[in-house]
């Protein structure tokens, strides 16, 4: 790595990755980060290719996630991946989502809003965003809501393990301990559910069958661990970032308040400008030429979603928040035909994208209905936190108490 390129492990990068991304795109579209032991790509076309080209495998998850989750679908490829994905995907779309899970989403959002609507002020991160998606998954799976703080602690430690770019030993140790604690908690629950099926996602998972393939207790436990982390951390950041952006752009907030059909455009534009997941790794199975250089087989490559989504070659005025922009397709934004990269693309495209969209629509409608004159607290400026996943550290708001 040349001395002039910002260091992704520096505090300056953590404070403002966006200006570093611009330097990467312009001066070093492919570079090797020695300490991360990873090649890094940052331009839209290169990040898109890393997701779509099957030369780039997800073998990186063998060391990046398997030690904390066990084996899950993100690591698999080919037929093994498609069968496993087909076992779980129906629960996250269509009638399962609309009929079975929508009421859960509505109740979780309403309960949280009831906790602060009469007070006149709140931190939408601490009191809403961090609790809402994990509460939804806990209820979808039919787990004990009293244990939600445990799940929250576990998924935070898993995400820290996933994003442990500097190889911090304490983060590694805590991730490994989480795997043991989660297995101890979850395996008896999975076994008990097999003999007392209910109308919940865990019951769907233990009975799912495609082409004679089913999921073992260990598979189900590992998938639940993945769901808690993949669905908790990301939607949490998404809802907080979207409200931060709308509150900082009152005219666009007013437009969304007036026409709720604009929520999906506001969410898509948030995913482009402030993606909850800023980077995803891959491992090429063979030597690949990309971004004017070569990545040898078996090396790690980091694809910078946060940079690609702001590539001026792809989006006009890429650093501005504009829910009306005409160069982002907001109808395909939650499917594998998306033209932003926040859910990745290709065969590992986020299986929970429609669930996330439904959660954001419900939360936004309920928050806007319950808090008619919602605004940022006087003098409060949202500050983002995180390098691998990123979102506002807090979001202090004020409103007329209901």
- Is residue 240 close enough to count as binding ligand HEM by CB under 6 A? no
Nearer to ligand HEM, 28 or 288 (CB): 288
Please identify, among the stretches 104-112, 151-159, 228-236, 288-296, the one whose residues bind ligand HEM according to the rule CB under 6 A.
228-236
Report the C-alpha gap between 53 and 282 in whole angstroms: 11
To the nearest whole angstrom, how small is the minimum distance from the Cβ of residue 398 to ligand HEM? 26
The footprint of ligand HEM on residues 146-205 (CB under 6 A) is none
To the nearest whole angstrom, how small is the minimum distance from the Cβ of residue 277 to ligand HEM? 4
CA-wise closest residue to 384 among 10, 5, 16, 8: 16
DSSP 3-state assignment of 265?
Answer: helix
Q: How many CB atoms lie within 10 A of CB 8?
A: 24
Nearer to ligand HEM, 124 or 227 (CB): 227
- Is residue 304 close enough to count as binding ligand HEM by CB under 6 A? no
- Is residue 206 close enough to count as binding ligand HEM by CB under 6 A? no
How many residues of this chain bind ligand HEM (CB under 6 A)? Answer: 24
Binding mask 325-344 vs ligand HEM (x if CB under 6 A, - otherwise)? -----------------xxx
The footprint of ligand HEM on residues 271-300 (CB under 6 A) is 276-277, 280
Q: Which of 73, 122, 263, 290 binds ligand HEM (CB under 6 A)?
A: 73
The answer to whether residues 279 and 302 touch, using CB atoms and an 8 Å cutoff, is yes
What is the b/e burial string over 189-212, where b = at least 16 CB atoms within 10 angstroms of the residue's CB?
A: bbeebeeeeeebbbbbbbebeeee
Report the C-alpha gap between 205 and 218 in whole angstroms: 12
Q: How many CB atoms lie within 10 A of CB 57?
A: 18
- Is residue 227 close enough to count as binding ligand HEM by CB under 6 A? yes
55: phi then psi, degrees, rounded to nearest 5: -65, -25
Report the C-alpha gap between 6 and 9 in whole angstroms: 9
Q: How far is CA 163 from the centre of its chain?
A: 12
CA-wise closest residue to 232 among 140, 133, 112: 133
Give the H/E segment covering residue 110: helix 102-114
Nearer to ligand HEM, 85 or 299 (CB): 85
Q: Which of 91, 350, 367, 368 binds ligand HEM (CB under 6 A)?
A: 350
Please identify, among the stretches 36-44, 166-174, 255-263, 351-359, the one whose residues bind ligand HEM according to the rule CB under 6 A.
351-359
The footprint of ligand HEM on residues 124-153 (CB under 6 A) is 137
- Is residue 74 close enough to count as binding ligand HEM by CB under 6 A? yes
- Is residue 309 close enough to count as binding ligand HEM by CB under 6 A? no
- Is residue 234 close enough to count as binding ligand HEM by CB under 6 A? yes
Say how many CA atoms lie within 13 Å of 304 toward its Cβ: 25
Q: In what order do the strands lie in the sheet with 121-123?
A: 121-123, 396-398, 375-376
- Is residue 351 close enough to count as binding ligand HEM by CB under 6 A? yes
Contact residues toward ligand HEM (CB under 6 A) are 58, 73-74, 85, 137, 226-227, 230-231, 234-235, 238, 276-277, 280, 342-344, 348, 350-352, 355-356
């Amino acid at each position: 790595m040349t001395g002039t390129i910002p260091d992704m492990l520096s505090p300056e990068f953590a404070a403002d990755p966006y200006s570093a991304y611009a330097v990467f795109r312009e001066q070093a579209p492919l570079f090797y980060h020695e300490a991360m032991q990873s090649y890094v790509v940052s331009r839209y076309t290169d990040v898109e290719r890393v997701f779509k080209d099957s030369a780039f495998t997800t073998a990186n998850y063998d060391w990046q996630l398997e030690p904390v989750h066990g084996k899950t679908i993100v690591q698999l490829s080919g037929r093994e991946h498609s069968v496993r994905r087909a076992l779980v995907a129906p629960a996250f779309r269509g009638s399962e989502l609309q009929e079975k899970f929508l009421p859960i989403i509505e109740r979780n959002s309403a309960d949280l809003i009831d906790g602060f609507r009469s007070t006149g002020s709140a931190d939408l991160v601490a009191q809403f965003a961090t609790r809402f998606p994990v509460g939804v998954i806990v209820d979808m799976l039919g787990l004990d809501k009293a244990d939600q703080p445990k799940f929250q602690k576990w998924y935070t430690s898993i995400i820290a393990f996933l994003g442990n770019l500097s190889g911090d030993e304490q983060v590694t140790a805590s991730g490994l301990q989480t795997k043991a604690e989660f297995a101890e908690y979850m395996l008896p629950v999975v076994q008990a559910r097999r003999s007392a099926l209910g109308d919940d996602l865990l019951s769907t998972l233990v009975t799912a069958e495609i082409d004679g393939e089913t999921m073992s207790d260990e598979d189900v436990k590992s998938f639940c661990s993945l769901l808690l982390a993949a669905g908790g951390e990301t939607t949490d950041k998404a809802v907080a970032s979207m409200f931060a952006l709308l509150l900082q752009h009152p005219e666009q907030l007013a437009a969304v308040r007036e026409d709720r059909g604009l929520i999906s455009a506001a969410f898509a534009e948030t995913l482009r400008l402030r993606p909850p997941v800023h980077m995803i790794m891959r491992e090429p199975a063979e030597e690949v030429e990309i971004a004017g250089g070569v990545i040898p087989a078996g090396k790690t490559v980091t694809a910078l979603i946060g940079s690609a989504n702001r590539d001026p070659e792809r989006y006009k005025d890429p650093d501005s928040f504009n829910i009306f922009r005409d160069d982002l397709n907001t109808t395909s934004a939650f499917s594998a035909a998306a033209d932003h990269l926040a859910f990745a693309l290709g065969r590992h495209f986020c299986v929970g994208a429609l669930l996330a969209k439904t959660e954001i629509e419900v939360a936004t409608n309920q928050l806007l209905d319950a808090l008619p004159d919602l605004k940022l607290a006087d003098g409060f400026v949202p500050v983002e936190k995180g390098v691998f996943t990123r979102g506002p550290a807090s979001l202090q708001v004020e409103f007329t108490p209901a």
